[in-house]
Amino acid sequence: MSLGLLAFHAVDSSTASAAERPVRVIEAHLADEAGPMIRMHNLCVGAGRANEGLRADWQRQLTKAHNECGFRYIRFHGLFTDDMGVYFEENGEPVYNWQYVDELFDFIQRIGMKPFIELGFMPSQLASGTQTIFWWRGNITPPKDYQKWADFIAAFTEHVTERYGRDEVLTWYFEVWNEPNLDGFWMGNPEGLPWEEWAPGARAEYLKLYATTARAVKSVDSDYRVGGPATAGEAWIDETLAFCAEENVPLDFISTHSYATMGGFLDEYGNTGTVLSPDPESITAGVRNVRAKIDASPFPDAELHYTEWSSSYTPADPIHDTYHSTAFILDKMKNIGADADSMSYWTFTDIFEEPGPRKTPFHGGFGMMNYQDLTKPAYFTYKFLNTLGDTTLRNDDPESYVCRDEAGGVQALFWDFALNTPPEGVNNQDYYNTDLPAEPVGDVVLQLSGLRPGSYQLKATLVGYRSNDVQTAYIDMGRPNQITREQVATLRAASDGSPRLDEAIEVGADGAFAREFPMRENDVWLVELLPL
């Protein structure tokens, strides 16, 4: 279906018979409230590493993401790696230096956000070994001296308390390490042992690190929030809960990670051929399972934070760039609901150097924006969700939200989630790197009642195949490795978020509105009625 042929029809709901209506009807009455809008989706968003946060382009993009998508916290690796210059020793005595951290945290606070602090990796002069991960060489070994590590963490916590104030730091989160159940992130595995042989010793060492770190944070203020285990694939949840209960170790939240790709958790340099899971309950079922474990534990009030999640764990997967990701994200957020306190999308930007600087403007990077600030379809998911009013209206359609705001505006966000997995034997890197037209799935009728009679501005914005679809526009361009200013302008115009429909309408004395919208696989519509 050509976008030029997309049609919008007013519907006379009093005369249209059931047989004449499209199969899918979304109905809501402004007085029929379902409850407050759950906003766990934008509590936090991910980024690559702390040092990238000192770059002007990274800061520009985070400001845009905060302003338009409403992200409140930012999480990243590498706060304590050597490029942040936080720890040195002179004659065996620790020397702390917080200047780069201050510059980064000052910026985050200045734009109205907060850090979700990942405490890691190990400063090389405090490390027990030399094993590292990523192009930027994050040290993955335990401390050579746990007392020095505890003193370092306490000094860091005291510093941010002094600089930003106790009341502010009480709102922060302190997370211990990142994915310690993977040998790439914790201790290494020089003997190449099978996971089931390596994991028990690594877990015991991590729990020692967790206890030392959590107690060091709490030594500054017992009300500060600390948690873990920040594992890949929802591992070590039971063990962490049991250990903290048995050893009386503080635990304010559980954190873990999940990706919707079959097999694997780590692709350091983006060389793996990944495949999207065919399970429609991927991500969602895991969240529910972890929440149930917390509820049944000695820590039933602990928050649950997924501090990384996405469709794929590799920094070179074109599914991150494709229009399919928009409905995919919405499906997960709607079905997870309040079972998680946050789902931190990994990541907001392609300015991400775990495998080193990337060579092309679109390379399947994790980000919602590429190097040139071009917005991918995933970005609009969060922008649309942030547009929704604070009150949700009762609505039986499972792939939609209908909300209202205090100004009398109404917003409807609806989508078609089609789990388009690659054919057998084909990986994401081949499948999602091609032009993939979307099939029509019928029209959707949006019917609203209880509106205040009067004038409204009606806006309807579409994300889908060839609509705010920068990846397909890039494919049309021949996928150049470097893009000119003129090509950037062309791609920006293809993904600028302009509404497909923008017109003034009148709502009559009956307070009713009805409009028909065409729908294709993985299309996402945001419809807004703004009182004039």
**Cα–Cα dist 366/312, whole Å:** 8
Write down the catalytic residue from 118, 175, 179, 239: 179
CB contact set of 370 (below 8 Å; sequence gap of 6+) = 350, 361, 362, 376, 470
> Quick check: is 506 catalytic?
no
Query: What span, in angstroms and rounded, lies between the C-alpha atoms of 58 and 45?
Result: 13
- Annotated catalytic residue: which of 27, 52, 175, 308? 308
Which of 340, 188, 346, 193 has its CA nearest to residue 260?
Answer: 346
Question: What count of other Cβ atoms lies within 10 Å of the Cβ of residue 504?
Answer: 10
CA pair distance 491, 70, nearest whole angstrom:
24
What token pair was written down for 438?
């979307």
Q: Radius of gyration (Cα) for the chain, nearest Å?
A: 24
β-strand 9-10 against 513-520: which pairing, if any? antiparallel
Strand 410-415 versus strand 524-531 pairing type: antiparallel
- Could you give phi then psi for residue 262, rounded to 5 degrees? -75, 120
d(CA 464, CA 323): 5
- Asked if 390 and 405 touch (Cβ cutoff 8 Å), the reply is yes
Residue 115 token pair: 């850090």
Q: Is 158 among the residues known to form the active site?
A: no
Give the C-alpha distances (Å, rounded to integers) separating 449 from 395, 431, 510, 513: 12, 43, 8, 6
Residue 9's H or E segment, with its range, is strand 9-10
Active site residues: 179, 308
